[in-house]
Structure 1
Amino acid sequence: DGTTTATVLARSVFREGIRNVVAGSNPTAVRRGIEKGVTAAVNHLMEISRQVSRPEEVAQVGAISANNDHFIGDLLAEALQKVGKDGVITVEEGKTTETAVRFVDGMQFDKGYISP
């Protein structure tokens, strides 16, 4: 899914950006260069990526993201199929060793106050 790659790239871009600024480069120019590079990378990724829609594909991507845990990948595929592409999936830490999926119809609000 690319999360590790994105983290490694972000760290490297940050480190090299700081190194260039410390060496005397204009910080604004460094920022603009990073933004151009990010735009180019995102555009390229959009060109070569493909949409994952079948439950088997979702399970495979989910398993990879979960350190090759196919059980978690299957749970993710099941949850995504149930809520749809616009649904919300929330992962919460439990108090037991059991891994479970719970579906909530409608809306769920966290406790607290909202002030206009």
Structure 2
Amino acid sequence: VERVKAEQPGIGFNAVTEEFVDIIKAGIADPAKVTRTALQNAASIGGMLLTTEALVADIPKKEPANAVPPGDMDY
């Protein structure tokens, strides 16, 4: 992991040849395939949201902090 962090961007480990190579030139990571997969996943989630009849969302309510009474007040 440290070796991969030290390498230039785009350099990764090829497990088949056990070498550090440019992953795009070696055909390991195809930018078009990555983009296509991201779009497919986004469309899948969008379709799920459109066909789901209920969506759970949490909207936090801002509540004022409780006031601390002064120390000299007796009850």
Fold conserved between structures, TM > 0.5: no
Greater RCO, 1 or 2 (C-alpha within 8 Å, sep 6+): 1
Q: Which has the higher strand share?
A: 2
Instruction: Please report the TM-score for the alignment, with normalisation by the length of structure 2.
Output: 0.37
Which protein shows a greater Rg?
A: 2
Instruction: Please report the TM-score for the alignment, with normalisation by the length of structure 1.
Output: 0.26
Q: Which has the higher helix share?
A: 1
